[in-house]
A and B are shown apart, each in its own frame.
Chain A
Amino acid sequence: MKHRILALAIAACCATLALPARADDATLKAEMDALRAEVAALKAEVEQMRAASAAPVATSKPAPAVNAEPVPALAATTAPAGGGVDSGYALGANTTLWGYGQLDYNRPTARPADARADLTRAVLGFNHVFDESTRVYGELEWEHAIASADDAGESEVEQLYIEHALAPNYGVRAGLMLVPIGLLNEHHEPTQFYGVERNFVEQAIIPSTWREGGVAGYGNTDSGFQWDIGLVTSPDLGKWDPTSPDGRESPLGAIHQELQLSKAHDLSLWARLNWLGVPGLNVGGAVFAGKIGQDTSKQFEGDANFPADNARLLLGETHVRWQSGPWDLTALYTRGTISDTQDLNLGFLGQPTPVPKAFWGGYAQAAWKALAWNQSSLVPFLRFEAFNTGAAYATQPQGFGTPALPTQRVWTAGVNYYLNPNVVFKFDYQDFRYDDELLNYGNRFDLGIGFQF
């Protein structure tokens, strides 16, 4: 219809041009100007109608209409780049590339010779949209700069899964996924946490970045609940090495399989429920539970081969986070148990690292955005953590038992300086109750650089 109006306007304009020559020149000019303006306005309207009827996608929007009224310069605009140039990079219409990086420097005050500078993580991620409701997410990571047979680095696939939305607010996923537990595991980019290193609780007890392969459902409700449920691969207790300190550093970190030819006889379930119904509040919890014995020989030969065939893992977690104005306050508690470890540990007698029956950790953290200017901000924070990776061991015959480990306590005080929300420089000091050279625990200064895009 607008096209017809446009045509009429142009016809009217032509008719005006064909007016008898005796018309007054000045009047004619004024009329023509008025008509020109009208045509321009109609043209702009038609263009907008077209844009509105087309899929309203910012990247494919036409150039601004050519008409009057340029926007006056804003005296003090704080608006950053529009269209989200700071988040991901479009590789064509359906594929986005994203990434993050973390570089750290740690200097133990008592052992300055152990000071280390490390390119902790370089990560490239992508997502590709197959159609309106189906996409694939992938995250590829290099740790410690160089990965080869002779180097300490690792090259890993952290996530790789298909997601299919069944409705705008729920759907299913299948593939290698991050376990939805705690606050850090799924959101582990260095701009998202305070301090150079990730908190110890979500490394030692929840082995971030923890992922398993399987199928999962996700969703959220209008009342603010966010839920997840999954059926996934389990850790493999058969990987436990009683001669290594790995199991003391992180019991689950020592036995998770990361979908690397994972033994998949035993599967686990995860479930998470968060409530986000009040802006700024995140309160919820998660459970990961399943058998971790993995030994298929049981079906044929009884329990002879692996003494912890029936071992079960149960890990629970609960948290509350409150972000309001400059404040960001967090508390998290998590506790795990592994059953049926008695016989297994008996075989490990004399070795330094038996399998714990219980392990737990918790932290409380307060961060305060002290200064904010333009895109930058300065956020000091304080965190207290207590955790124990060997809080209890299965009972053994008199004289063979393993005493519980002492509970480690760490205070961390530091500051995140955000150059912009996606680039952060960090400094902190960590005070440990117990030194442990093997696990690299000891009072230290840390410096860090992090970014994400």
Chain B
Amino acid sequence: MQVRWLLPAGIGATLVVQVAHAAQYMSVEQAQRAAFAQATQFAPVAVAIDAAAFGVQPGWKPLVWRALKDGETIGWFFEDAVIGKSELITYALALDAAGKVTSVEILDYRESHGGEVRLAAWRNQFKDKTPADAVALDRDIRNISGATLSCRHLTQGVHRLLQLYAHVLAAKP
């Protein structure tokens, strides 16, 4: 097979493509808008977390917003990060006012390994989950073959945030 021309052609194509694209990720504001189109305000909520109770490392501090429409709570929005295979995945979770998942968005996925968690079909599995659900890989969340670590860690992350909602936020007025 005459493949000698492929190498320079490939490098040329790469350079062209590189000029055309810069990494684009969803910002927190974009994700908030996408999750709660009708919200009039996103109020930051300070939460103090007893790390031991959640079985997490000290210093775990997801960012939490209350989505408000004309002063009334219509849902909750979280931004957190978990390790994918070896680097951080930043993601957003949106819950409705009753604590049911409405969406999971990947804001930033840095490495290529396991990047398939960005697939909408996979993320949609979290829809309608509540703190009462298992939200565990291979139980009510299916795996992506070849992206197991990212799937597992993200599933654990969503599970943690649901528990945070149930034990801390649900009680807030």
Contact = CB atoms under 8 A, between A and B. Distances in A.
Interface string B71-93: 00000000111111111101000
Question: Which 3 A-B pairs rank lowest in CB-CB distance, beginning with the nearest?
Answer: A84-B83, A82-B56, A44-B46
7 contacts: A51-B61, A72-B167, A74-B54, A83-B59, A183-B145, A231-B3, A269-B3
Tell me whether chain B's interface is mostly helix, strand or loop, or mixed. mixed
A166 B17 contact: yes
A430 interface: no
Given A74-B53, A82-B56, A279-B122, A57 B81 contact: yes
A323 B147 CA distance: 12
Interface string B28-46: 1000000000000000111
A87 interface: yes
A57 B88 contact: yes
Interface of A: 41, 44-45, 47-49, 51-52, 56-59, 61-74, 77-85, 87-88, 96, 98, 127, 129, 132-133, 135, 163-169, 171-172, 183, 186-187, 192, 215, 217-218, 220, 222, 224, 226, 231, 267, 269, 274, 276-280, 282, 289-291, 312, 321, 323-326, 369, 372, 421
Interface string B151-173: 01100110110011001100000
Contact of A71 (B50, B63, B87): B50
Contacts of B110: 129, 132
Nearest to B43: A45
B49 interface: yes
B111 A62 contact: no
A222 B83 contact: no
A323 B143 contact: yes
Contact of A49 (B17, B44, B159): B44
A68 B118 CA distance: 36
Contacts of B168: 69, 71
A64 B85 contact: no
A326 to B, nearest CB: 7
B54 A71 contact: yes
A346 B120 CA distance: 56
A368 B86 CA distance: 28
A167 B3 contact: no
Interface string B55-71: 11111110100000000
How many chain B residues sit at the interface, stated as a range, is 35 or more
B35 to A, nearest CB: 16
Contacts of A98: 85-86
B21 A166 contact: yes
A79 B156 contact: yes
Contact of B56 (A51, A63, A81): A81
Given A71-B54, A84-B153, A168 B167 contact: no
Contacts of B1: 267, 269, 289-291, 312
A168 B109 contact: yes
B18 to A, nearest CB: 6
B149 interface: yes
Contacts of B56: 79, 81-83
A372 B140 CA distance: 13
A99 B118 CA distance: 25
A415 B79 CA distance: 39
A168 B115 contact: yes
Interface string B115-152: 11011111001000000000010110111111011001
A63 B164 CA distance: 17
Nearest to A47: B46
A87 B157 CA distance: 14
A310 to B, nearest CB: 11
B47 interface: yes
Contacts of B125: 279
Given A80-B55, A183-B145, A48 B82 contact: no
A66 B88 CA distance: 26
Contacts of A279: 121-122, 125, 141-144
A24 to B, nearest CB: 29
Given A71-B167, A290-B1, 13 more contacts: A48-B45, A56-B28, A58-B88, A59-B88, A73-B50, A81-B55, A82-B157, A85-B83, A129-B110, A164-B18, A224-B121, A279-B141, A279-B144
A370 B144 CA distance: 20
A70 B48 contact: yes
Nearest to A180: B146
Contact of B142 (A41, A62, A68, A323): A323
B53 A67 contact: no
Given A80-B156, A132-B110, A282-B144, A222 B120 contact: yes
Contacts of B28: 52, 56
A308 to B, nearest CB: 16
A49 B79 CA distance: 13
Contacts of A325: 138-139
A84 B152 CA distance: 10
B116 A276 contact: yes
A289 B79 CA distance: 45
Contacts of A220: 115-116, 118-119
A274 B119 CA distance: 13
Contacts of B112: 163, 165, 171, 218
Indicate the member of B82, B110, B112, B141 with the most A CB atoms within 10 Å. Answer: B112
A277 B46 contact: no
Indicate the member of B107, B143, B146 with the most A CB atoms within 10 Å. Answer: B146
